[in-house]
């Protein structure tokens, strides 16, 4: 397994000193989360939530952006794709990471996904040098998942309800297990939604551990979309959920819920403005 001690999203020890860049090459998503606000809005320099990016770029543009980022932010150790859509809803992320791996093999390649297409992409991800993987798993009970996800896009069809939820959970479990067998470092993200999955955290953590995840990251819901009126969890509820998850997996506690075009050391000044200052639109997919 790749040494991830220099990955700030896997190792709290390196988080204050090691940088990462998210390359926003993924234009579409393949599931419909009820807390996701889709669409294009005015450029908001101050938006600090997953799924926000100054624009979607092509794989070749992403490589040029990375080259510039390495000049202005030499502490970068990780090149990842985390949106703005799902990185495996199209082939752009894999193409981008393959280019990065060929040009900069010393960087850790990373990808964040909902896991629906993970089993079919894993061999290509491994060939592209991906060593770190984050999969968002918000429920392993299909009934609970339908309250968070309206359905999935599967081979040209929209599948809603329990059928879609079961297919997504099955793909997540299979994909994480196969990724473990390939030696990838795996973190599971869980978006904590009060009254929906806050009493389901232990089941998710238990399943994630059994599938092969090495860490879990419980992050508070950022209300939006159909769940815009749902309050975010209190700090006490979030801490309780993390303690519960910690019975089964180490809990990552240094998450900054970074944008899909983030650049720099997490928690410090983001360098993305220097990379995208000439663009004026935001492609918005809120992933909590």
Tokens of 32: 């419909």
At residue 288, the pLDDT reads 41
Per-residue pLDDT, averaged over 1-13, amounts to 60
At residue 146, the pLDDT reads 98
User: What is the number of other CB atoms lying within 10 angstroms of the CB of residue 218?
Assistant: 27
Using a pLDDT cut of 70, give the percent of the chain over it.
80
Q: What is the DSSP string of the chain?
A: ----TT-TTT-TTTTTT-EEEE---B---SEEETT---EEEE--TT--STTEES----HHHHHHHHHHHHHH-TTEEEEEE--BS-TTSSSHHHHHHHHHHHH-TTSEEEEEE-STTHHHHHHHHHHTTEEEEEEE---SSHHHHHTTEEEEEETTEEEEHHHHHHHHHHHHHHHHHHHHHTT-EEEEEEEE-TTTTTT-HHHHHHHHHHHT-SEEEEEE----GGGTTSPPPPHHHHHHHHHHHTTTSPBP-------TT-EESTTS---HHHHHTT--EEEE----
Comparing 82-86, 93-97, 124-128, 138-142, the range with the smallest average pLDDT is 82-86
At residue 287, the pLDDT reads 46
Q: For residue 171, name the pLDDT band (cuts at 50, 70, 90).
A: very high
Contact yes or no for 26/85 (Cβ under 8 A): yes
At residue 55, the pLDDT reads 76
- Compute the distance between CA of residue 78 and CA of residue 6 in angstroms, rounded to an integer: 8
CATH class, 19-284 region: alpha beta
Tokens of 131: 């060593």
- Compute the distance between CA of residue 159 and CA of residue 167 in angstroms, rounded to an integer: 9
Q: For residue 56, name the pLDDT band (cuts at 50, 70, 90).
A: confident
pLDDT at 246 over 60: yes
Tokens of 182: 């390939």
At residue 262, the pLDDT reads 76
Per-residue pLDDT, averaged over 113-137, amounts to 95
At residue 47, the pLDDT reads 56
Instruction: Using alpha carbons, select from 173, 170, 169, 218 the residue that is nearest to residue 198.
Output: 218
Q: For residue 285, name the pLDDT band (cuts at 50, 70, 90).
A: very low
Sequence-distant (6+) residues with CB within 8 A of 110 are 7, 9, 20, 78, 79, 80, 81, 130, 131, 132, 133, 134
Q: What confidence tens digit (pLDDT) does each residue in 172-206 have?
A: 999 999 999 999 999 999 999 999 999 999 999 99
pLDDT at 112 over 50: yes
pLDDT at 220 over 80: yes
Domain locations in the chain as residue ranges: 19-284
Q: What confidence tens digit (pLDDT) does each residue in 29-40 have?
A: 999 999 987 654
The pLDDT mean for the chain works out to 85
């Amino acid at each position: 397994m790749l040494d991830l001690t220099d990955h700030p999203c896997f190792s709290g020890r390196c988080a204050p000193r090691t940088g990462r860049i998210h390359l926003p090459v993924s234009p579409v998503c393949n599931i419909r989360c009820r807390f996701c606000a889709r669409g294009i809005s005015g450029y908001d320099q101050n938006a600090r939530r997953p799924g926000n990016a100054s624009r979607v770029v092509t794989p070749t543009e992403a490589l040029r952006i990375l080259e510039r980022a390495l000049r202005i932010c030499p502490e970068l150790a990780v090149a990842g794709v985390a949106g703005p859509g799902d990185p495996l809803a199209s082939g752009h992320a894999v193409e981008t990471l393959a280019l990065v791996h060929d040009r900069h093999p010393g960087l850790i390649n990373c990808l964040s996904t909902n896991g629906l297409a993970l089993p079919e992409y894993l061999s290509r991800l491994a060939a592209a040098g991906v060593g770190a993987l984050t999969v968002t798993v918000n429920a392993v009970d299909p009934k609970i998942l339908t309250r968070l996800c309206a359905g999935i896009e599967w081979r040209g069809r929209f599948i809603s309800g329990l059928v879609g939820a079961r297919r997504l959970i099955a793909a997540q479990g299979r994909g994480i297990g196969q990724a473990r067998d390939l030696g990838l470092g795996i973190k599971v993200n869980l978006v904590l939604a009060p009254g929906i999955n806050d009493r389901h955290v232990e089941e998710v953590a238990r399943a994630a551990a059994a599938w092969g995840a090495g860490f879990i990251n419980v992050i508070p819901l950022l209300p939006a979309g159909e769940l815009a009126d749902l309050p975010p969890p209190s700090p006490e509820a979030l801490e309780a959920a993390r303690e519960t998850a910690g019975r089964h997996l180490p809990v990552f506690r240094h998450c900054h819920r970074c944008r899909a075009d983030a650049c720099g050391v997490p928690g410090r000044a983001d360098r993305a403005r220097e990379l995208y200052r000439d663009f004026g639109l935001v492609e918005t997919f809120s992933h909590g």
